[in-house]
Structure 1
Amino acid sequence: MKIFIFLIFFCPALFAQVDYPKDYFSPPLDVPMQLSGNFGELRPNHFHAGFDLKTLQKEGLKVYAVADGYISRMKISTFGNGKAIYITHPNGYTSVYGHLQKANDPIENYIKKAQYALKSFEIELFLKPDELIVKKGQVIAFSGNTGGSEGPHLHFEFRDTKTEKIINPMFFGFDKNIKDTKKPLISAVYVYPLDTKTSVNHSKRPLLLNLSLQKNGTYLSENVVANGKIGFGITAFDYDDVSFNSNGVFKVQSFYNGKPNFGYQFDTYSFDDMRYVNALIDYSKYKKTQQRVQKLFMKNKYGLSIIQTDENNGIISVVPNLSSVYRVEVSDFFGNKSTVSIPVQYDLLSTIIEQEPVVSNYFVRADKDSNFAKDNMSVFFPAGTFYDDFDLNFDVKNDTLYLHEDTVPAHTNFTISIEDNKYSETQREKIFIGLVEGKKVTYNPTYRKDSVFNAKVKTLGKYALVMDTIMSKIAIAKPIEGKWLSDQKTIQLTINDELSGIKSYNGYLNGNWVLFEYDNKTKKITHNFSDGIVAEGANDLKVVVTDNVGNSTTFETHFFRSQKK
């Protein structure tokens, strides 16, 4: 087994064994390719699944099919990729285009027809191969800023059609569209004592190491003096010659005394791998400082498929009479590489910095079911909820469940249960289990059996029963009551719910359901008169907004419009 692991590390070709087509696909935009985000980049709760392509800081650029194929899926969402189109190609791959402003006319008409049939802005459609055929270079859509986008750009990715695995677009020849002569930047190196007996450089807490640039362009760390088990972590970024912003790195490999002991490379991975980003990074540090330190070790082995490690999962045991060197190499797709060497030696140094104190009254084993209860509140953690064992702070005070804090990542759902003994049945219909962060309350889908409320969540923190009797707000910037709107192309309103959140909204013109597009970032809904629902002359408009506990708000007005020119 050890020989097999050794061979894996010394055969780089095993990282990417597939011979991907290099000249089959063309760029999806006709502007120079610049990345605002690359494949595998570390994001909240996930790895980035493709390229984020810059669109000159504006919307409306033409988006082209990168090869012949057919539109196999279309998804319209207020979050995630927003308006997205999927094209299945005959060579076994699927291309994805996200955050679109709108599709071209035939595709947009197909989408709107489905939206009207389903009476919903958010839809997901799966198409047959003969329904919407596209050709390479055909305009399929226009770039936008929909969904979870934080600015105008095109999200672009490739998937294996059969397995749904996501693939780095660089492998399809797009590296020739990007010039990159710059090395990745290793901005910080940390060393971690990994048990209560171990100290590193007089500390039982993780330490930031000082680095010095060498004449050959590599970096040398200050000496690490330790006893017992330690691990290392890095913060690293990549840059190219044209994008002028930092992106994620392609490959990380560590060596201990010349032998590989931990590494990963962003070639391809599955959606099941996504949440393991929280295991890879120092999650607690990220939550406290927003700095993502990539850990080069695993206390307990987790299932991220891209990781290749030795039998010690990257953990080093520092023992007497052995001076060692730990080396980290960070590379980009173009072969540019940065290196840090860290001298490691054994010594029993006195401890000056003790472990950070943890307020806790329970211990959670990651591989065991755990159930904790006090008063009318309880929590159940199934085995495998967490990546590592940890000391849990659990308490109930003033009708609030204090469930540690969001410094320990959960990989799967766990269940919170709260029994109510003071609200009426009518009041219970308006209650949910909320995550309480200061004055902010986040809604969690809540189900009730008699007087017991339950919610499945993935975040540690403070929870309580929250009653929502506040109606959603519907507003229009300029009153239109009794006015002629013949020169307007759209009608727009703002909808908002500050507690449990909006579950649904529906608009009606003269009693007929009409499509309003919802932008979650601006909280605005927009109806386009070109849909052809508006009547000549007088029109009655009604908008109904319902929140997640059933409170409903209605806005009504009337206006006039002439379609004649």
Structure 2
Amino acid sequence: MNYSKKFLLTTIFFGIAGQALVAQIFTTKTYPKDFFNNPLNIPINLAGNLGELRPNHYHMGLDIKTQQRENLPVHAAADGYVSRIKIEPAGFGRAIYINHPNGYTTVYCHLNDFNPQIEAWVKQQQYNLESWKVFLDVPANLFVVKKGDFIAYSGNTGGSQAPHVHFEIRRTADDVNVNPMLFGLPIADNTSPVITRLALYNRLTSVYEQSPRMLPIKKIAGGYETSQDIVTVSNAKVSFAVGTYDTQSGSSNQNGVFQGELYDNDKAVIGFEMDNISYDDTRYINAHVDYKMKANGGPYVEHLSELPGYIHSIYKKVSGDGVIDLSDKGVHNIKIIIKDAYGNSSFVQTKVQWNGSATPASTAAGKMFYPMMLDVSENPECEFYMGERCLYDSVHIAYKASAATAPAAVSAIHTIGAPYIPLQDAMVVRIKPGKTLSPDEQSKVVMQRFAGSKKEVMAVEWNNGWAAAKFKDFGSYQLLVDNEAPEITPVGFANGSNVSHLSRLVISVKDNFGKYKNFRAELDGKWLRFTNDKGLSFIYKIDEKFLPGTHTLKISVEDEAGNKSVKEFSLTR
């Protein structure tokens, strides 16, 4: 081969390699591929994956279907020891954490009964703590497991809508979730992500003070492109978001994608990756998606730009934050590549150009607040405080007061912002009542937030005649006096009943404002374990604690305002 030909081939090779390197925003992951087993004895069929979009949080693991059944055996995915056990009415329900010698922790959630040894130990801890809801640290040598050991039965407990096992892999050292689909689990996936829509934003104004321009797209070989050849815009800075989902082979479930990458004129700008996400940061999904669009009943779209208030983000910035500067008035070739965890990919491309016109100033009402800045709005009867990590993007926040109509109200209604503006950290709302309240009246005051049909109440703290509470959503707020204690209703039995024919005791609790706390059950003066899965009825499965004979069951419940109900039942067994 002559020198000139060799030089030409070398130039071509390194040129192609250079382009590939430029296009490689993320490095290949090197997680252990043969360490973890499928925790079930059935093929893995997913109802959700890590990074799937959920209200106020990224989905943080795999939802493995259990064939619409409960009580399938769940096994340890690898050697290790049980390190923690969690039981709660929502969230994980009943969960087991196993630490492994390679520095990872697996988590198994929405379980029914644990294996008998674990179940007995957990029950004893609950009685020691006098609490059904627990998060227990387990001694490292207490429950040592081998790969494949039976640890629990699958279920539908906690924040689960159908039988399945939620399975996570975390780094043990910092409890950060890594993507289980990168560990070689037997999940067939030869399908490429689907891109359903492309949204264009004017980034000279807040993302919450606009509706994006939806660009029609059409299918082409390997991906999609906009129907319009060149998209002209009337503002010099834009960003993009995509509607997208992924499936696995043989499944129609629309799960989340793994990566998204943005290129401007073949230059890598920014990308996001669904991996290494902490539960401390999972609420930041509200900065990743167009929250306003979803809150107003629209679909999810995922930003290919990092909002300024997104801390510890899933984005990797290469040459900017994803906001494209079109001030050169040239045509910008935009390409977005979407990938799944198995290397399957799709793309959407368009051309965009600024037409040179000026962008009108915002006409949004209210004071402008900024992310990463502490600020306050002060009004005669209402103040609200925004912390540095409350907002994701700068936005005008409007305020107005109106007369209250609720009989229990002791303040005006104060409307702050709009429900389609998301908050990361809670803001502080302070309200002054419309009349002087006695100390006894103050002790029964709660603050209510409402927006549409959604309502929530919080206990308040008093300071110089102002009542304060924290909320993570905008809406309307008012002070209400709550003098009504929760209602305690036995289901299927009454005072004086013979309950020998029953396998469980059920108690229903209701509160006028829908929020109660401090449920306590005692049998002959000793704490009795009632479960409260999904926050519904309280249930006690009759066991060795309830011996034959006549006993006194005492139930007490307290609400957010401190109102307390107590009922006693004489029961024979």
| Superposed pair shares fold, TM > 0.5 | yes
Aligned to 2:383: 378
Does the alignment pair 1:224 with 2:231?
Answer: yes
Name the aligned partner's letter for residue 98 of structure 2: I
Secondary structure of the residue that 1:444 maps to in structure 2?
strand
Deviation at 1:122, TM superposition (A): 0.7
Structure 2 Cα separation of the partners of residues 45 and 216 of structure 1: 32
Unaligned runs of 5+ residues in structure 1 are 1-5
**Are the structure 2 counterparts of residues 424 and 345 from structure 1 closer, same or farther at C-alpha, using a change threshold of 3 Å?**
same
Structure 1 Cα separation of the partners of residues 210 and 73 of structure 2: 56
Structure 1 Cα separation of the partners of residues 558 and 525 of structure 2: 18
Secondary structure of the residue that 2:91 maps to in structure 1?
coil
Structure 2 Cα separation of the partners of residues 520 and 301 of structure 1: 33
**Are the structure 2 counterparts of residues 417 and 257 from structure 1 closer, same or farther at C-alpha, using a change threshold of 3 Å?**
same
Please show how residues 290-369 of structure 1 align to structure 2 within 5 Å.
290-300=298-308, 302-320=310-328, 322-348=330-356, 358=364, 360-369=365-374
Please show how residues 54-133 of structure 1 align to structure 2 within 5 Å.
54-133=65-144
Structure 2 Cα separation of the partners of residues 495 and 196 of structure 1: 48
Deviation at 1:455, TM superposition (A): 1.2
Does the alignment pair 1:488 with 2:502?
Answer: yes
Aligned to 1:182: 191
Deviation at 1:196, TM superposition (A): 5.7
Deviation at 1:397, TM superposition (A): 2.6
Deviation at 1:88, TM superposition (A): 0.7
**Are the structure 2 counterparts of residues 195 and 440 from structure 1 closer, same or farther at C-alpha, using a change threshold of 3 Å?**
closer
Structure 1 Cα separation of the partners of residues 356 and 205 of structure 2: 14
Deviation at 1:36, TM superposition (A): 0.8
Please show how residues 69-468 of structure 1 align to structure 2 within 5 Å.
69-174=80-185, 177-195=186-204, 205-215=211-221, 217-222=223-228, 223-227=230-234, 228-300=236-308, 302-320=310-328, 322-348=330-356, 358=364, 360-398=365-403, 399-420=412-433, 421-438=435-452, 440-449=454-463, 451-468=465-482
The C-alpha deviation readout for 1:98-133, integer Å capped at 9, x for no partner, is: 111221111111111111111111111112211222
Deviation at 1:415, TM superposition (A): 1.2
The C-alpha deviation readout for 1:14-62, integer Å capped at 9, x for no partner, is: 252xx32211211111122111110111222221111111112222111
Deviation at 1:148, TM superposition (A): 1.5
Deviation at 1:13, TM superposition (A): 5.8
**Farther off after superposition, 301-310 or 91-100:** 301-310
CA contact 2:195–2:224 (8 Å) conserved in 1:
no
CA contact 1:70–1:133 (8 Å) conserved in 2:
yes
Deviation at 1:256, TM superposition (A): 0.8
Name the aligned partner's letter for residue 302 of structure 2: Q
Structure 2 Cα separation of the partners of residues 526 and 220 of structure 1: 56
**Are the structure 2 counterparts of residues 57 and 496 from structure 1 closer, same or farther at C-alpha, using a change threshold of 3 Å?**
farther
Deviation at 1:299, TM superposition (A): 5.0
Aligned to 1:3: none
Deviation at 1:281, TM superposition (A): 1.1
**Are the structure 2 counterparts of residues 357 and 59 from structure 1 closer, same or farther at C-alpha, using a change threshold of 3 Å?**
farther
**Are the structure 2 counterparts of residues 439 and 248 from structure 1 closer, same or farther at C-alpha, using a change threshold of 3 Å?**
closer
The C-alpha deviation readout for 1:242-280, integer Å capped at 9, x for no partner, is: 332111111111111111112112232223331221111
**Are the structure 2 counterparts of residues 314 and 540 from structure 1 closer, same or farther at C-alpha, using a change threshold of 3 Å?**
same
Structure 1 Cα separation of the partners of residues 390 and 497 of structure 2: 57
**Count of matched residue pairs:** 543
Secondary structure of the residue that 2:473 maps to in structure 1?
coil
Structure 2 Cα separation of the partners of residues 196 and 124 of structure 1: 44
Name the aligned partner's letter for residue 211 of structure 1: I
**Are the structure 2 counterparts of residues 361 and 62 from structure 1 closer, same or farther at C-alpha, using a change threshold of 3 Å?**
same
Deviation at 1:480, TM superposition (A): 4.3
Aligned to 1:501: 515
Aligned to 2:8: none
**Farther off after superposition, 495-504 or 330-339:** 495-504
Deviation at 1:217, TM superposition (A): 4.9
Structure 2 Cα separation of the partners of residues 373 and 321 of structure 1: 43
CA RMSD of aligned residues (A): 2.5
Deviation at 1:439, TM superposition (A): 5.7
Name the aligned partner's letter for residue 505 of structure 1: F
Secondary structure of the residue that 1:434 maps to in structure 2?
strand
CA contact 2:367–2:397 (8 Å) conserved in 1:
yes
Deviation at 1:79, TM superposition (A): 1.8
Unaligned runs of 5+ residues in structure 2 are 1-18, 404-411
Name the aligned partner's letter for residue 191 of structure 2: K
Structure 2 Cα separation of the partners of residues 418 and 363 of structure 1: 21
Deviation at 1:207, TM superposition (A): 0.8
**Are the structure 2 counterparts of residues 419 and 217 from structure 1 closer, same or farther at C-alpha, using a change threshold of 3 Å?**
closer
Name the aligned partner's letter for residue 226 of structure 1: V
- Of all paired residues, the percent bearing the same amino acid is 31
Task: Provide TM-score, normalisation by structure 2.
Answer: 0.89
Secondary structure of the residue that 2:286 maps to in structure 1?
helix
**Are the structure 2 counterparts of residues 205 and 270 from structure 1 closer, same or farther at C-alpha, using a change threshold of 3 Å?**
closer
Structure 1 Cα separation of the partners of residues 215 and 102 of structure 2: 48
